[in-house]
């Protein structure tokens, strides 16, 4: 079956760094996406990885290891507005997105 | 501005009633998707369409129906056969992947509840 695992909840301090992990087992692999979703709102696209390695985009970076079925999202210089759910999604061999349940991040002062 | 518009934002359904959720996009995207989101669960795919006049069932299509008569529109009908319709419904669109980064863009969602 297809499975994407990520922690349910995390907490971190304003100004700190947090790493959100995602492991996956899917039917084929055509890229991994990270989305941010504030409560009651639409998910917004953060990053995309299809090759192994690190992709950096401002305060956010995402890493992928295809051999390990593993990705992480790294958030630096945390701000209160970063409190949200972070969704990991893998595009499978039929080009459908398979989503994890999301990680709810709470940033506190 | 280009984007995806879902309406209504909130919807209430009575027993035995069919309701239709609207999704319109002006991004000129070929592919459109409907997801359901329940608390503590990931987004689950209901239906998707990669081209006008064609659509496929997702993982939880039972009790739902769709149409794709126009490129920009992909309405979802929640039928009375769907016994647990209370959820947050999200519509998304993208261009078909071609080896490049083609993220799905989401609308603001419709929250459906049973009266």
A32 interface with B at CB cutoff 8 Å? no
Task: Encode pLDDT of B66-112 as tens digits.
Answer: 999 999 999 999 998 898 999 999 999 998 765 556 889 999 999 99
pLDDT value at residue B3:
92
Q: Are B44 and B36 in contact (CB under 8 A)?
A: yes
| Closest Cβ opposite residue A41 in set B101, B105, B108 | B108
Residue A7 has pLDDT above 60, yes or no: yes
Strand partners, B113: B12
Task: Encode pLDDT of B29-78 as tens digits.
Answer: 999 999 999 987 889 999 999 999 999 999 999 999 999 999 999 999 99
Q: Which residue of B has its CA nearest to A5?
A: B42
- Residue A55: which residues within 8 A CB-CB, separation 6 or more? A47, A48, A49, A61, A62, A63, A64
b/e string for B37-52 if b means 16 or more Cβ within 10 A? beeeebbbbbbbbeee
């Amino acid at each position: 079956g297809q499975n994407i695992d990520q922690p349910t909840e995390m907490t971190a301090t304003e100004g700190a760094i947090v790493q959100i992990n995602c492991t996956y087992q899917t039917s084929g692999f055509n890229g991994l996406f990270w989305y941010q979703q504030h409560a009651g709102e639409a998910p917004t696209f953060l990053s995309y990885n299809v090759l192994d390695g690190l992709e950096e985009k401002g305060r956010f970076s995402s890493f992928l290891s295809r051999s390990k079925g593993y990705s992480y999202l790294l958030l630096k210089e945390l701000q209160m507005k970063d409190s949200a759910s972070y969704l990991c999604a893998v595009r499978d061999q039929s080009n459908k997105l398979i989503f994890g349940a999301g990680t709810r991040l709470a940033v506190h002062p | 501005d280009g984007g995806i518009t879902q309406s209504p934002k909130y919807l209430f359904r009575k027993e035995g009633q069919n309701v239709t959720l609207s999704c319109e996009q002006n991004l000129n995207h070929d592919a459109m998707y409907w997801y359901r989101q329940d608390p503590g669960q990931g987004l689950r795919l209901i239906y998707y369409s990669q081209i006008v006049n064609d659509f496929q069932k997702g993982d939880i299509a039972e009790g739902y129906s769709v149409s794709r008569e126009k490129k920009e529109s992909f309405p979802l009908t929640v039928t009375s056969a769907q016994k647990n319709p209370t959820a947050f419904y999200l519509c998304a669109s993208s261009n078909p992947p071609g080896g490049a980064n083609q993220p799905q863009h989401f609308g603001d969602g419709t929250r459906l509840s049973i009266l």
